[in-house]
């Protein structure tokens, strides 16, 4: 149910217009969160539907240029009442016949060591690497936190911590 709700969230986003297929994977709604100057990190989000009969795994992501020193696959989760973020070991599983959503407050792409801010309205090329389907490079538009929040509110749900994580300090986790 959480994945279905998150999917509805991303469909409300302005980034949700185009779907790309890579084998049995339907990939849509790629987006990056805009950052303040000097922010060290940013989050990347998208929706992946595996329409095939076998599972796959998102094993890596990279961004074109010298924008970030490192890109990792992360998850945010509540642990004993505290929000924590950690790298996903072995990649993000994409079970056969399921939708996996990378969204604020959950699974996401983490851009670390930003060399420049991500500016709302810009677009950056991000390459996704899957264990079975291979690689694909997509354009990820940069959206403001307000646009991301509007998509959440339009869907009628709020994420972990009501998406207040990092509102005042954009240098926090970036997602």
Q: Give Cβ neighbours of residue 65 (< 8 Å, ≥ 6 apart).
A: 124
Query: Quick one: what percent of the chain has pLDDT higher than 70?
Result: 74
- Own/partner long-range contacts of 164-170 (Cβ < 8 Å, ≥24 apart): 165/76, 165/83, 165/104, 165/105, 170/35, 170/36, 170/39, 170/145
Residue 60 confidence (pLDDT): 98
Task: Note the pLDDT of residue 149.
Answer: 62
Check the CA dihedral 137-138-143-145 and report its sign.
negative
Task: Please give the model's pTM, rounded to 2 decimal places.
Answer: 0.78
Q: Backbone phi, then psi, for 49, in 5-degree steps?
A: -110, 125
| Whole-number pLDDT of residue 56 | 98
Average pLDDT (19-42) is 93
Calculate the average pLDDT of the chain. Answer: 80
N-term to C-term CA, the chain = 22
Q: What is the mean pLDDT of residues 20-43?
A: 93
**DSSP tally for the chain: helices H, then strands E:** 2, 11
pLDDT band of 122, cuts 50, 70, 90: very high
Question: Which has the minimum average pLDDT: 43-52, 123-132, 162-171?
Answer: 162-171
Q: Is residue 100 over pLDDT 50?
A: yes
Provide mean pLDDT across the span 7-19: 48
Cβ proximity of 128 and 138 under 8 Å: yes
């Amino acid at each position: 149910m959480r994945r279905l709700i998150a999917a509805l969230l991303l469909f409300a986003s302005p980034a949700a217009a185009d779907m790309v297929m890579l084998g049995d994977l339907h990939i849509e709604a790629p987006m990056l969160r805009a950052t303040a100057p000097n922010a060290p990190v940013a989050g990347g989000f998208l929706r992946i539907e595996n329409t095939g009969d076998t599972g796959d795994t998102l094993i890596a992501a990279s961004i074109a240029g010298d924008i970030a020193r490192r890109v990792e696959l992360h998850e945010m989760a509540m642990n004993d009442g505290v929000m924590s973020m950690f790298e996903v070991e072995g990649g993000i599983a994409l079970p056969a016949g399921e939708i996996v959503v990378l969204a604020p407050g959950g699974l996401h792409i983490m851009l670390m060591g930003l060399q420049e801010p991500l500016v709302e309205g810009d677009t950056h090329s991000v390459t996704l690497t899957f264990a079975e389907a291979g690689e694909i490079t997509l354009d990820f538009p940069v959206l403001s936190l307000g646009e991301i929040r509007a998509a959440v509110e339009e869907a009628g749900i709020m994420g972990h911590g009501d998406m207040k994580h990092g509102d005042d300090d954009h240098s926090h986790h970036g997602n």
